[in-house]
Amino acid sequence: MDKDLASIQEARDLAVAARTAQIAWAKASQADVDRVCAAMAEAAYQASERLGRMASEETGYGVPVHKKLKNEFGSKAVWESIKEIPTVGVLRHDAANKVYEIAWPMGVVAALTPSTNPTSTAMFKVLIAVKARDAIIVAPHPSAVRCSYETVKLMAQAAEDAGAPPGLISCMQNISLPGTQELMNHKYVALILATGGSAMVKAAHSVGKPAYGVGPGNVPVYVDRSADLEKAASYIVSSKSFDFSTICATEQAVVADKPIARRLAELMQSNGAYFVEPAQADALRKLLFTSEGGINAATVGKSPQYLAGMAGFSVPESARILVAPLSEVGRSEPLSREKLTTVLGWYEADGWEAGCNRCIELIQFGGRGHSLVIHATNQDVIMAFGLEKPVFRIAVNTMGTLGAIGLTTGVMPSMTLGAGGIGGSITGDNITVYHMFNVKRLAYETAPPPEIVFQPANPPAGPSPLEIEKVVRGLVNDLLHLQ
């Protein structure tokens, strides 16, 4: 069978099976739901190392041991964050207002997952969907089909062993654009949960169904003169080098307060940052992006040594990231874009107000609504950034990579980070189980209706002059038409 036709047929078959399973799963008790989710989380957690290695080998992106950590986060940490959340029956009772809030599942979820974080994102999405009593069909990126399918298959088996109906959790194996479109458009799919590039997210939103779509970030990190510079330098380099920068909340450009810029650069160098020369930066500009500004997929999730070799120069084995000093933001400076690899921009700004403006420039160029990192101890500066920046995650004195997803901060653990209306998303939240079910309200009367509604309305005295004129005009038009 033609690949596209096979993909379309697979999408249809999985959607029908998912709908049948979801109808049964919607009747599950909270105990049933939690038992199944706990079993899936444990199975995925135990396979974190193997699946992380598979993801790195199949895609060629990132660091296997870092993918293991992301898998542990996508399974255990995510489950720990949602396991106490009620998702069945009456959620809350407002006795004063006589309102009961009742959980209602979305139905069948189509989950599009990226090549950069294929296994951890699949784990996370399966858990939040099934916890909400939804069925889920994962449509993986074409370059990550094998590791994604293995992840979903493992979780589906654990779920069925714990009592879930067959077909509740599935993953497409025949991936094509027509097949993915068929899945998203299928009559049984109620919600689309898309994580990946801008084109994929745009396609998800264009279907006309409810969709949580999140795309790229262009995360600046501002380092204020009040910051703990040793900590900031260590965190920035380690965060940017984590899994070779394949998380969308990874720092993309440092904005250093001028009085501390030189010292920060020295400390970053001691932590493995290699500051490139102008000619080397120009080579990276040509390497990382196409002439239209698109990312060169061959450079995604690669080590600085690999990138330098592709660009025609060499760097020490001790280099963990490449840092390019920049002066402009926008189309004229490709390196001011999001870079899903171990290249970091470097700007200097004199004072937090100037740093604030530079950060906004970077956000507006490619990361509206996504995330920002600030290193500072001056609470006034921190709050100014919190109030003024057009993003929905502001990580303070932590790593962008791990802070925005909720590993090192108190935000909800998630592998799908909403960018809000300004970023083209329906929400600015970290997507979690709350977004996977609706709430219906059973509301009793709390006040009698106004007396006037029980009184008969006075019949009109007769047609108004305007109404008579309209009738006459209609009759005249009819007569003229007959002639």
Nearest by Cα to 338 from 240, 477, 203: 240
Q: Which of 178, 103, 102 is nearest to 142 (CA)?
A: 178
The type of residue at 104 is W
- Residue 307 tokens read as 């990138």
SS3 state at 375? strand
CA dihedral 78, 84, 86, 87 (to 10 degrees): 30
Q: What is the DSSP letter of 424?
A: T
C-alpha closest to that of 134 among 211, 73, 191: 191
Using CA atoms, how far residue 110 sits from 125, 159, 378, in Å, is 10, 18, 44
The Cα–Cα gap between 389 and 417 comes to: 16
Beta partners for 323?
275, 344
37, 147, 171, 248: which one is catalytic? 248
Residue 413 exposed, middle or buried by CB count within 10 Å (0-12, 13-18, 19+): buried
Q: Is 147 a catalytic residue?
A: no
**Residues in contact with 355: Cβ distance below 8 Å, sequence separation at least 6, in sequence order:** 222, 224, 255, 257, 349
Asked if 315 and 274 count as a contact pair (C-beta separation under 8 A), the reply is: yes
Residues marked as catalytic: 248
